[in-house]
Structure 1
Amino acid sequence: MGLFRKKLAVLDLTHGGIPIAIKLAALGNDVSGVDVYGTVDQARLGELEEKYGIRCSKAPLLLSEFDLLIAPVHLDPAYPMLSKARSEGKTVISHHEAIGKILQDDPELSDIRIVEITGVKAKTSTASLLADMLSRRFDVVLHTSRGLEAWKDGVPFLIHRGLSITPGSILTAIEKSLEAGIRPEFFIFEISIGGTGAADLGVLTTLSPDYGIANNTSLASTAKLQLIQNAKPGSILLLNAGAEKALEAAKGNLAKVLTFKDPFYAESQVKMSEVPDFVLETEAGTAKSSTPSEPATTPKASGSTLHFLRRGEELFSASLRPGYNSSAYRTAFVAASAAALELGVERKAVVSVLEEFRGLSGRMQEKELNGVALVDNSNSGMDILSAEKALEYALLKKKDEKKGSIILVLGEEASQVCEGLPPVSVQGFVEKFGTKCRHIILVGERMQTVAAKNVSYAGSLPEGLLKASELAGTEDIILSSVKCFR
């Protein structure tokens, strides 16, 4: 069903519904917006009605008034309009699908190629590395949780900051790019929980660790399969070879399906009968570990050598710089390299990017804070598993460099950032690993419920880092693992 001259209801104006509603109204539809969470300011709702003709409501509307509903994949199916639509057989499409239809019908984008990247882990780092690689040959605009950037010849320029990675933000990202006079050859979009179907190349980084959505009635991994199910004929899908659910969904797909395997990530231990198209190995032979879930050697902070293979043939090797935890970028290295090569980037440009890379801010990057070593792992995708891996890395650094003790800054700056960091998970973390740190500074109001002997509290990441700096000696390590926008 097309999205033209229809009566449409856009559900959830909080998570990307507003730009969708505005665009659909501009395309000649009769649009109503439903603020299902009641979180949108009344003045903003009034503006939508007066300026764009979008009728807004904080209460469910009568289903009979609409041709179809547009709802996010994470909305509780028990929401009255969704529940009634399901019982009456009324068409419901996701925010992702709506964006896909809008983009594919937009003549202004006909000569611009689109890359979409989704998954649980490594989305931002994969997208950022790919933007750098593509920019060595093409003009690129990158939209991630870090911001909206224009890339050219390996140099980024910030266009705008503050957009989420909901599918609706894609429309805003395109609008702000074109308004700035930037018309790229490639748009790269980091997208939460799925793909739109407009991509010329779609990348699935990982499907694990999985988690519940829509009031725990479905799994995020199922929603992310939209990247595959919505893929347009002739496009390319680059999938993690360990994501069996995705590989099964890709069978019979009219897109070109390619797979990658990185040797560090546990879910990438595939059956011998399934030969990935792209494989990443280390010179130390990490890929040949005798234990399926563990690497053969411990990833180190110092630079190491990567070997990149396509269907068993080595295409290149790259010597990585020290100064960041290269193992934290394992998925991004192989996925971005494979995507870049498929899109026409020369091997030497891919190698150059890998060898120049110094890590992304807030993603296992080594820095200094007032003369004290800082491992920065604070970002929007940080979760408790990431905090565990960061601590493991800091402990290794402590041992190798004969450092003193670890001061950990852990928590969240905003509970709405990608579902926040559950206090119950933090409580479990400090009970299991708290003794490995001299002191833990918990960030965020919700962390006040977490109790431990060596714990204090801070209201924000800067406050937490200031307290850590005051506590730490010159031989100590400050480890920052706070869920936040950077």
Structure 2
Amino acid sequence: MQILILDIIHGGIILGDALKGMGHTVDLVDVYRGDLSHPGSITCETAMSRRYDLLIHPVHLDPSYPVLRGLSCPAITHHEAVRWILGSGRETRPTGHEKTGISIEITGARGKTTTATALASLMDGYGILHTSRGIFRYPEEEKITRMSITPASLISVHALLSDTDWCITEISLGFTGLSDLAILTSDEDYRIASGRLSARTLKHLSALSCRKVLIAPGMTSEHDSVINAKDLTQVTGGICTYSYKDMEGSFENPLLTLEGYRTPLQLATAAALILGYRPDKLSNFASLPGRMKITSEEGRMIIDNASTGACLKTTLDAIALLRGTEDQITPFTLIIGQENRAVCENFSDNEIIAAIRKGRPATAILVAGDDRMNVDAISGACQEQAVPITTVNSITEGMQVAREKPASPIVVSVKTWR
């Protein structure tokens, strides 16, 4: 087939190489930068002048993009293309060489990395964990490399697996439907594709292609085989009690008192039970780097919530953690925002404004490294709340500004890759 792939910076090159290996002819369009340096890259105008049998595009692309509107061939998403590519590989396996390792896909606006890492800590045997922190080989927890969590990265991850290896992968903006278990970690909605599409709707629609779906407490799903983590687990304070089939018990972990960890640990517990593992070892699970980490610098407390999952709820969690360890009236500096466009699921203006209003920082530092951010709207909201605001381009720059202020605590809640 003659195939056109849109968006090379979010996995299009990996998709193209895989499809060329299957015997197809592939053209690529860099829809965000117009880069023509990669072999096979063409302009949007050239693509419009050619005929294709199939068009492949990312779910976050504006539906009004000229090529999407102008070409009449069938179109599928990057997620669906990965399902086709890897699924065709399964169909061509000779008898007796079927893959037997368990596979888990995890998506959601927040909690993906913590859920995935907690679940990986409970798995037996050999496997691969792929999150925004990197690709790790278990049980050694050896870091192999780091790749984005775009769906196309799953092709590279699968190339590392043997037939019996388990695989836990974090995927942005939906599922491919290839996994034995799909986990939806949160239900927050935000607009993507130039504000034309709902991220929540896309994730729930992609879940319909999955065999079995596990969802977080407080969520609902139309899936025929959905399991809610609240039906298997219950958290009171720092204790998680669980019951599923013939497995019952409980474990204690102080992280359960923080919402940013409570839901991921409940999901990991429920997933382990579904897969046949006891979750008791989660009592030893520690906070991840960049996930609500508390440090001290010259007597100044710093609560670091910067990660790909930073959002309104985790920001308020970080502030609540500060106020649980410091005098409630102690003024603090809030560094908030988004560092770059590499994070598809952006920290929305409304959530940033709500975090400032509810958190009541003494001063705010806005990391405006993403051109989707409305700096004027956020600055205006700060003025209404009498909160001084400074705009910077990175966390590093934000910390430099914060250190120049009086020695009050700092909360960092910036969406970024780490």
TM-score range, shorter chain: 0.7 to 0.9
Aligned identity (percent) is 31
CA distance in 1, matches of 2:263, 2:80: 27
Structure with larger RCO (C-alpha < 8 A, sep 6+): 2
1:272 matched to which residue of 2?
Answer: none
CA distance in 2, matches of 1:165, 1:173: 10
Cα displacement (A) at 1:373: 2.2
Cα displacement (A) at 1:34: 2.1
Match of 1:105 among 64, 79, 88: 88
CA contact (8 A) 2:333 2:410 kept: yes
1:412 matched to which residue of 2?
Answer: 338
1:211 matched to which residue of 2?
Answer: 190
1:10 matched to which residue of 2?
Answer: 5
Verify: 1:375 aligned to 2:303, yes or no. yes
CA contact (8 A) 1:380 1:418 kept: no
Cα shift readout 1:272-291 (whole Å, capped 9, x = no counterpart): xxxx3x13221x5xxxxxxx
Question: What letter matches 1:326 in structure 2?
Answer: L
CA distance in 1, matches of 2:349, 2:235: 37
CA distance in 1, matches of 2:257, 2:227: 27
Seen in structure 2, the aligned counterparts of structure 1 residues 197 and 469 have a Cα distance that, compared at 3 Å, is: same
Verify: 1:156 aligned to 2:141, yes or no. yes
2:79 matched to which residue of 1?
Answer: 96
Worse overlay, 463-472 or 121-130: 463-472
CA contact (8 A) 1:112 1:185 kept: yes
CA distance in 1, matches of 2:207, 2:49: 30
CA distance in 2, matches of 1:472, 1:321: 31
Match of 2:396 among 435, 442, 462: 462
Q: TM-score, normalised by structure 1?
A: 0.74
Cα displacement (A) at 1:199: 0.6
CA distance in 1, matches of 2:190, 2:118: 26
Q: Following superposition, which runs of at least 4 residues in structure 1 exceed 4 angstroms of deviation?
A: 422-425, 445-449
Cα shift readout 1:379-398 (whole Å, capped 9, x = no counterpart): 11212443233223322332
CA distance in 1, matches of 2:7, 2:322: 41
Q: How does 1:314-353 map to 2 (within 5 A)?
A: 315-321=248-254, 326-345=258-277, 347=278, 350-352=279-281
Match of 2:244 among 291, 302, 310: 310
Count residues with an aligned counterpart: 402
2:180 matched to which residue of 1?
Answer: 200
1:357 matched to which residue of 2?
Answer: 285
CA contact (8 A) 2:312 2:351 kept: yes
2:67 matched to which residue of 1?
Answer: 81
Cα displacement (A) at 1:425: 5.2
Q: TM-score, normalised by structure 2?
A: 0.85
Cα displacement (A) at 1:100: 0.9
CA contact (8 A) 1:410 1:482 kept: yes
Seen in structure 2, the aligned counterparts of structure 1 residues 101 and 63 have a Cα distance that, compared at 3 Å, is: farther
CA contact (8 A) 1:472 1:478 kept: no
CA distance in 2, matches of 1:124, 1:40: 31
Question: What letter matches 1:367 in structure 2?
Answer: T
Question: What letter matches 1:28 in structure 2?
Answer: G
SS of 2:314's equivalent? helix
Verify: 1:139 aligned to 2:126, yes or no. yes
Cα displacement (A) at 1:336: 0.8
Cα shift readout 1:149-203 (whole Å, capped 9, x = no counterpart): 1221xx5221112x2211012123344x46xxx8871111111111112111111
Match of 1:397 among 310, 322, 325: 325
Cα displacement (A) at 1:240: 3.4
Question: What letter matches 2:332 in structure 1?
Answer: I
CA distance in 2, matches of 1:56, 1:80: 14
Cα displacement (A) at 1:226: 4.2
Seen in structure 2, the aligned counterparts of structure 1 residues 129 and 16 have a Cα distance that, compared at 3 Å, is: same
Seen in structure 2, the aligned counterparts of structure 1 residues 314 and 343 have a Cα distance that, compared at 3 Å, is: closer
SS of 1:225's equivalent? helix
Seen in structure 2, the aligned counterparts of structure 1 residues 425 and 112 have a Cα distance that, compared at 3 Å, is: closer
Seen in structure 2, the aligned counterparts of structure 1 residues 395 and 415 have a Cα distance that, compared at 3 Å, is: farther
Cα displacement (A) at 1:351: 1.2
2:16 matched to which residue of 1?
Answer: 21
CA distance in 1, matches of 2:70, 2:44: 17
- Stretches of structure 1 lacking an aligned partner (at least 5 in a row): 1-5, 50-54, 262-275, 285-303
SS of 2:64's equivalent? coil
CA distance in 2, matches of 1:103, 1:160: 21
CA contact (8 A) 2:259 2:314 kept: no
